[in-house]
A and B are shown apart, each in its own frame.
Chain A
Amino acid sequence: MNKRVKLFIPVAIFLVMAGFLLYGLGRDPNTVPSALVDRPLPEFTQPSLYPELGEYSSGDFLGRILLVNIWGSWCPPCHLEHPFFLEISETEDDITFIGISYDYSTVEDREFLAERGNPFDFNVVDLDGSLRIDLGVTGAPETFLVDQQGMILYRHIGAIDADVWNDKFVPLLRQIR
C-alpha cells in the first residue's frame, strides 16, 4: 500500500469513531426503542375501571384507530397531558381513546376523571399487571397509536402536548386515514 495512503488510516479511524460518538451525543438516552412497534396490539381481557361496565377484550377494538394511554392519577406527567387529551378527544372523532389504569389506583383514577373530565372512550384496568408487561411499558405515561388492523404504529414515552402530537402522531395518522 502507498505510504501516503497509510498515513491517513488513523485519521479515518478517528473520523469514524467521532461520527459514532457525535451520533450518540445527540440521542436521548431515555427513548428506549419499543419492541412492540409494527407488531399487533397484545391480546388482553381486563375489567373496566367502572365495574358495572364489565370487561373489555382487545378484539372489541379491532377496525378502529386507537390511542392507548397508560396512566395513573398518581403520575404527575399524566396530569400535565390530561388537558390536551381532553382537547383532542373532542376534535379527533375517528380515534378511539383507551385509558389503561394501574390496578392499585382505581378509586383515585375514577375520582380524577370525574373531577377533571374523562377523555377516554374506554377505561381499562390492568388488574393482574400482565397488560403493561405485554405492552413493554416502562412507566406512566406511555401512549400507543394503533391502526385499524390492530398494529402498533408508534409508542411515545412521557407526556404528550401539541408539539409531540403534531410532530409524531399527525404524520402517522395522515398515512392511515
Chain B
Amino acid sequence: MQFTRLLPVILCLFTWAAMPALAAIEEYAFDTDQQEDRFKKLTYELRCPKCLNSNLAGSDAPIAADLRAEIYDQIREGRTNDEIIEFMSSRYGDFILYRPRLTVATFFLWFGPAFLLLAGLVIARRMIVNSQQAEVQNDAPLTSSEQEQLRKLLDDNQDR
C-alpha cells in the first residue's frame, strides 16, 4: 500500500522520458505518407547552410526552419524531388547537397576511394607474385646453358 501511494510520484518522475517528443521542431501535416517520406528524405539529404555538419532535419538554426518550411510548401505544391533539389542548389550551391552530384570536379570524390583500393590490390598482388617468383628462381636447378657457363668459369679458374 506504501507502493500504491508512491506510484503517482514514481510515474511523474518518468516524465523526462517524454522530452524527446518535445524536441521535434515543427509539426507538418501531409496529405499522403509518400509526401511525408519525401519530406524526410529531402531534409535528411540536404545540408543546413548555417551549420557545417548537420542536415536540415537535425538543425534548429533559423535558416534550417525556413528551408524545411519551403520544402514542405513545395512538396504540397506538387514539385518533384529533383525540382526542389535544383531550387536549393541554385541558391545555396553544391554545399547544400550531402549527396554530391557527379561532375568533373566530384569525379575523384566518387570514384577515388575505389580507384585507390583497386590500385592497392594490383600493387600488392604484383609484389606477392614477384617475391614468389624470386623464391622459385632461387631454388630451381640450373639450365643446361647455365651449367655450361658454370663449367667454363670453373675451368678458367683451374687453368690459372
- Interface residues in chain A, defined as those with a beta carbon under 8 Å from any beta carbon in chain B: 29-30, 32-36, 129, 132-139
A-B contact pairs, 25 of them (CB 8 A): A30-B52, A32-B49, A32-B95, A34-B93, A35-B89, A35-B90, A35-B91, A35-B92, A36-B91, A129-B66, A129-B69, A129-B70, A132-B63, A133-B66, A133-B67, A133-B70, A133-B91, A134-B91, A135-B91, A136-B49, A136-B93, A138-B63, A139-B50, A139-B62, A139-B63
Complex alpha-carbon distance, A133 and B61, angstroms = 14
The answer for the CA separation of A29 and B52 in the assembled complex, in Å, is 8
Give the interface size class of chain B: 10 to 19
* Whole-angstrom CA separation of A132 from B50 in the bound complex: 13
How many residue pairs, one in A and one in B, have C-beta atoms under 8 Å apart?
Answer: 39
List of B residues within 8 angstroms of A129 by Cβ? 66, 69-70
Give Cα distance in the complex from A121 to B45, angstroms: 40
| Chain A neighbourhood of B70, CB < 8 A | 129, 133
CB distance from A32 to the nearest CB of B (A): 5
Chain A interface helix/strand/loop/mixed: loop
A132-B66 contact in complex given A35-B89, A138-B49, C-beta closer than 8 Å: yes
Given A32-B95, A129-B66, A137-B63, 5 new contacts (CB under 8 A): A133-B66, A133-B91, A134-B91, A136-B92, A139-B63
CA distance A62 to B63 in the complex (A): 28
Q: How many angstroms from the CA of A129 to the CA of B91 in the assembled complex?
A: 14
Residue of B nearest to A9 (CB): B123
A134 to B88, CA, bound (A): 9
B99 → chain A closest CB, angstroms = 17
- Of chain B, the residue at the smallest CB distance from A135 is B91
Return chain A residues, CB-CB under 8 Å to B69. Answer: 129
- Residues in chain B near residue A33, CB distance under 8 A: 93, 95
Mask for B15-59, Cβ within 8 A of A = 1, else 0?
Answer: 000000000000000000000000000000000011010000000
Whole-angstrom CA separation of A139 from B66 in the bound complex: 11
List of B residues within 8 angstroms of A135 by Cβ: 91
Q: Which residues of B contact A134 (CB under 8 A)?
A: 91
Closest residue of chain A to B49 (Cβ to Cβ) is A138
Chain B residue at smallest Cβ distance from A42: B91
Interface centre among A32, A33, A36, A138 (most CB of B within 10 A): A138
Interchain CA distance A33-B92 in the complex, whole Å = 8
User: Which residues of chain B come closer than 8 Å to A32, judged between CB atoms?
Assistant: 49, 92-93, 95
- A5–B91 Cα gap in the complex (Å)? 47
Q: How far is the CB of A99 from chain B (nearest CB, A)?
A: 18
Bound state CA distance, A36 and B88, in angstroms? 12
Give the residues in chain B near A137, CB-CB below 8 Å: 63
- CB nearest to A136 among chain B residues: B91
> By the criterion CB–CB under 8 Å, are B90 and A139 in contact?
no
- Which residues on the B side are within 8 Å of A30 (C-beta)? 52
Give B69 Cβ to nearest chain A Cβ, in Å: 7
Contacts of A29 in B (CB 8 A): 52
Contact with A along B80-113 (1 / 0, CB 8 A): 0000000001111101000000000000000000
Contacts of B95 in A (CB 8 A): 32-33
Closest chain B CB from A39 CB (angstroms): 9
Residues of A contacting B52 in the complex (Cβ-Cβ under 8 angstroms): 29-30
